[in-house]
Structure 1
Amino acid sequence: MSVNSSRVALFACCLVLGGCPQEGVPGRQSGRLEGQVVGSGSPRGDAYVFLFAPGEGPPKGPATPRSVTAVPELRRSAGDSRFLFAELVPGPYRLWGFLDVNGDVDLSVDVLAQPGAGDSVSEAGVEVEVPAGSFVERELMLTRRMHHGPPAFRVTGEGTDGGVVTVPDSPLALTSLNVEADGLGLLRGEEARFFVRLRDADGDGSADDLNGDGVPELFPQFFLRFVPRPGQAVPLQTDGGASQVIVPLVINPVPFVTLLQGDVTREASATSVQLFVIPVALAGVTPLASIPVGEYQLWALSAEGAFWYVPNALGSRDSEALRSQALRFQIVRGGSPDGGNPAR
């Protein structure tokens, strides 16, 4: 299984026209980036514009932006779609954005800080170099319409009442999870459902079977992402940064085989899916000798690049309806919470 996602999405610094201030470099003049948001026929909704590091950010995968700004609906409806990033540290950036038609974006919560059903997004990001002491002007085209919203979910069934789901690290254990699509009353534009389709990452028209087990892979992709605590080591990348360690999960394909008929252009919808844990840990695409014990997040990634994960910041809100978003996941040694496992 290949997962083209690292860390979390669109944390926002501010919503003012000038974007998020960045700390300047002593003795070096700042730069400026300005332009117009164009391409959407609807004046409805606020437009959000992001600056990422070169090569990062949607649609390539979730990433943390360097700066963010907004073009409010009030200004857009008056014919003013300007955006401006002032006082930028000079250097290369990647410009990307979307139009929040449904008004359900909340930039204080990363799982809600992304486009949803009916929103317009940049087809691809714009690579731009911001020189010192000068400004660059770019247009941002919002031409691609999102068909579906983020794959929001909650985990149901046995083992969820205590607030922690434990998963044994044993390769002999068969662990399954049941997840139910749930917009939590926060996502608009469509009924909360999983939109299941065959994975075709290389665009050759044939379904992917990366692990060679004879079963085609499906979107949404699900995986457990390791959240190491202090003292828990993870493999390093070539640049010295920590690798993302995941444990893959697969959707039970039986309910969808007949509906999809091997056609990568078809799509089936479901209110719930059954997941099976694959007992192997991957650092990137490299299998590890053993699965790290400890805390994990359960992630879902849609075919359009939208994501959801649990536990998330919504689970800390004082709402009974959002308690499902606080559910924790722990992989334990040999199936025993006390068998050499980190303290909770």
Structure 2
Amino acid sequence: MKKIIGIKTVLIFMSLLLVLAGCGGEQESVSGEDSNSKEVIELQLGHIATETNPYHLLAEEFKELVEERSNGRLKINIFPNAQLGEERELLEAMTFGNLDLAVITTSPVTNFVPEFGVLDIPYLFEDWDQANTFVESNIADKLLKETEEVGIKTYGFVPRGFRSVTTSNHPVENPEDMDGLKIRVIESEVYLDTINEMGATATAMPWGDAYTAMQQGAIDGQENDYSIIYTQNVPEVQKYLSLTEHIFAVNTLMGSTSNIEQLPEDLQKIIEESAVEATESMGEHNLAEADNLRQKIEEEGMEINEVDKDSFIEAVSDTQEKYSEQYGSTYFQDIKALFD
């Protein structure tokens, strides 16, 4: 039976052997890249969603690829349902080397890498085709590298779908219908400004608190994509889904630079190749599932309605201008140029 140990234990063991080799003269030094090693290195991966959510499906596909390609030398332990913390806490843990991997939506990353906020600019993408065009572009590759400055490797973007507003009391058809509503958003300045300009009062709140807040009436609604609305049981506490489609949600698969770079180079390569393949596959899955999820949400009793989208686009024009100027030609203008 293979002995299962953690990364730090492996490194301590290797260091001791190297010291002994240096003292003994005749002893052979031990390489961390020994492909015949029978030791199993465990990596911990966290995310905030349920086991039925695309967050978890991405994690499982990544796990399967890594464990198969490493011939069992790597084991990925997945911790769903925010067991290891909310997304900001997961990001902080990776920067400090206290967590190996995580599936994260791009919005909380803005608190660590402001450039990621470009993806939260309202109505940046008009449809799935534009989102996929971005993900496959050199601009996306450049943006992925921005997290290296804070000690995080970002392996790929996963298009998740358009975020829309859900409410408990009445449907939303135009910005006037948002007046007086308290809407939960991600902890992001762009989201706060967007929902406030749409006419509601935005309340930043971890997802773990949102369900109870909706259930108790502390907030009137939230905004999210089909996958979160369905898998996080939003129809149990919300009646209406209004297709504002104001922001396109994007996930990422990330790793702690300090932890991953401690691994042998061949295992680092396996992690990167597996992550890229898994993110590409999950993006395709999310697009294929969009209509199915919408139908399931309706079957759960939510009423889905179209909105006067032009009026919402006009309402958030100041937010668009503010953040497009903030990111300038570096990202916003380059992304928009992809669609010209």
Structure 2-normalised TM-score?
Answer: 0.23
The structure with more helix, counted as a fraction of residues: 2
The structure with more strand, counted as a fraction of residues: 1
Where relative contact order (Cα < 8 A, 6+ residues apart) is larger, the structure is: 2
Structure 1-normalised TM-score?
Answer: 0.23
